[in-house]
Amino acid sequence: MTSPPAAPVLLGRALCAMVTPFTADGLLDLDGAQLLAERLVDDGCDGLVLSGTTGESPTTSDDEKAALVRAVAEAVGDRASVVAGVGSSATRHTVELALQAEKAGADALLVVTPYYSRPPQDAVEAHFLEVADASGLPLVLYDIPGRTGTRIEPETMLRLAEHPRIVAVKDCAYDLMGTQKVLSRTDLAYYTGCDELILALYAVGGAGYISTVANVVPGHLRAVIDAFDAGDTAQARRLQQRAMELIEAMMGAGLPGTVTAKALLGALGLPGGPVRAPLRPAGREATEGLLAAYEDLSPRRGSPPPSSTRACRSHG
């Protein structure tokens, strides 16, 4: 007997934190972005998050961010949600980016905690409320204190949940206690941004994931939550565990996820291109290690696809 997803599915369940493809000379590659977006959706993603951490938002211009939203929205149509990262360290700039993304065709906004200035919780709350009031789009709050230096504390999250357009959280706080506190007292849809916690958060009521690793194995990660929804928790566990070698290689071996994702995409002949400085590309040894982990996970030619509603076509 199947069971429905445990949390409201507002933007989908399987979301990819998509890289921003660049050409060999470092320019925005909109054709590549459309090709990559179509592949990700074909292989099981029902949402794409643009201009987030993996999308190198600190190094893309406002015009590039808007152009990327327009191109990807055109490519995927109504087959997937398009969530635009609009966070910055300045509230005024964040509002400007939010309005720009809405005009460009985004379905929702990803808004990170203001970074560097480390505002107190009342200022964090005011920041998010001002952005939510400025746009007609739903907001996904991005809680990643390891990068911003500031947590969205659970009590702050509870108050923010009262705003009708604050609907979801990308959770990278590594605080399962705090997360479950908010889950149990609000209708916020929680998406883990930590690939190793996809099954763990989903099992306690999360809405799904926003994954960097999904850039290269979208079908396999989708299969984890599909198996759980089908009531096959043992299979969900096996699929999550099988992915751990690649997850660790991409997210826990010292290189940023953007670097490892683009290294693998390039090695597989898929759109991605170089990273922008100050990031640097993965070296040959690191790339070979990533490929080995990828090949251990990916289905061999002639073998059956993973247990999912869609086949994983990572080589396509």
How far is residue 167's CA from residue 161's CA, in Å, rounded to a whole number? Answer: 7
Q: For the chain, state the CA radius of gyration.
A: 18
Cα separation, 291 vs 296, whole angstroms: 8
CA distances from 203 to 32, 226, 258, 294 (A): 35, 12, 27, 25
Establish whether 294 is a catalytic residue: no
Please give the C-alpha separations between residue 184 and each of 6, 7, 180, in angstroms, as whole numbers.
Answer: 12, 11, 6
**Taking a C-beta distance cutoff of 8 angstroms, is the pair 310, 220 a contact?**
no
Cα separation, 314 vs 40, in Å, equals 9
CA dist 28 to 23, 47, 122, 279, Å? Answer: 6, 21, 37, 16
Any catalytic annotation for residue 142? yes
The catalytic residue among 65, 142, 190, 191 is 142
- Contact yes or no for 129/121 (Cβ under 8 A): no
**Which residue reads 């700039």 in tokens?**
93
Residue 107 CA to residue 228 CA, distance in Å, equals: 27
Q: Say which of 65, 170, 191, 294 is annotated catalytic.
A: 170
- Residue 33 buriedness (CB in 10 A; 0-12 / 13-18 / 19+): buried
Q: Which helix (H) or strand (E) holds 139?
A: strand 139-143
DSSP label at 57? Answer: G
- Give me the active site residues, please: 142, 170
